[in-house]
Structure 1
Amino acid sequence: MPKKKAMTSEKASFVKRKGHEDAREFAELLGIGKEFNNNPQAKKDVIDSEGYSYSVKSGEKKWQIFLYGKTRFENNFTFKGMNGIGDLFLRCINSFPENREDYLKDKVKYKKELQKPMLELCDKLKDKRILTAFIDKSMFNSGEVDFLVIKESNNFYIFWGREVVNTLVNSYVVENSKARGMNQIDAQKVIFKVDGITHGEIEMRNDSDVHYREIKFWLDKKLTFVLLTSKIQPSKQLKPRIYLYGKAINKLSKYFKSLNA
């Protein structure tokens, strides 16, 4: 299997700009206007006048939920308190030498060192309570973000954060990766599958001097969108291009009526 190419800095900048544009477009559709509050560091792309916060996801193929280095896991109390998850991420990172040149000289050695903490991480995340805390922290900053908004086919679909977390946790089968070729090694990733299909992964990123010894968590956009729209019901078109799902209907319908009165 050919190795996947890492995203270039130009592509990453484009994705970031596109994300800002989509958040602004969503805010305008809400009726907030072009000037709106947000807090990207807390994953709050849009904050409305009632204080509700929204994480707006678009993208073509994958969502990068996070890309964190050693300092984040050393300093973040939530990860540190998540029954050893933070320590396991640090062990994954510390499986690789600080100097990337040393890693490049003997990749197999360091990938084998990664196996044990990655196996333990997988075992931890098979616990539904820990998986719930991990996904909630990663996607919604531990409940601080209220809603997930997915832009698909020029429409915006809104889901209540807790329903998203519960749906993902109850749908995922957590596994370690398996080597598929002679030069590959088992247990280099933690994989989230639904019906045997990979929906997301936790993996090490060591592909450049800029992105070295980092943990990446990503989800497939299309598969996640289909999963959420099929599992979270009912649905309601609130206004042109905006659809609500599940408990988001009751939580937001009155607000939208007052906003557009």
Structure 2
Amino acid sequence: MTQPTALPRALPAGAPAAGGMRFYLTTHKRHWLRLTDVPLFLKSEHFDRAIKWDEAQGPYAIDSGGFMDLKNKGTWTRTPRQHVDSLRRIWEHVGPYDWAAQQDWMCEDAIINGGTFQGQHFVGTHLSVAEHQRRTVQNFLELRSLAPDLRIAPVLQGRSIPEYERCVELFDKAGVDLRKEPVVGLGSVCRLQSTREGAAIVTAMAAHGFKLHGFGFKILGLERVGHLLASADSAAWSSHARYRPALPGHMHKNCANCLEYALKWRERVLSAYLSSIPVPALEAAA
């Protein structure tokens, strides 16, 4: 197998990427942290069984892994204390991360109502959007109380602009000034990102002055609203590779778990994204 393509040194943690937006490659391969210095996005659960720890060579951020928990169990199985303990171990062994997501409660229809969608079964929480939002805010307050020193990011939840605005109000009433937070996650928009509805939600939340992170963004979503985001992550490279031949010289069936493929895909995405950014946005980021 050929060696991964070397890219330029990553920006210091917290600094913006191309066009003012930092783009993380989402992966479950935690050893990539020592193989590349491009920004990576990993779930905290991927470190649970770690025996050998790899020191990060570049920026990285930590996802809470809530989607699979709520999808399969209909609730969080990891307590806030367990989440904090896991994040602290990662910080101490791997190095300081940019930020880590709180244990938010997603508001997609499948998560709330349950059922089978695109071949996947969801048990459903069978709670209201308002209750998901209340639990999201409460979780952030508890995590911040348990670990005020860790970089834990709040996440906005909803399904429509009025619902997201209500979530903003809940954080505000709880004493959380989202404008002062280094990162504010924007949850439950990954399936809407390339639609007018999704763009309207991102635009409305960006108007508050929040430094937004877009979870699970793809090329079309970035082309539409990437200039409004402080950062975004994507695992789309893996599904893209799964249905294509392996790169020349690679012996595996496909490159769905291949760092070199992921890096090349990221370069293409950032190139497409930069070409789509409105000129005023580029000038503002310079």
TM-score by length of 1: 0.30
Query: If each structure's strand is expressed as a fraction of its own residues, which one has the higher value?
Result: 1
Larger CA Rg, structure 1 vs 2 = 1
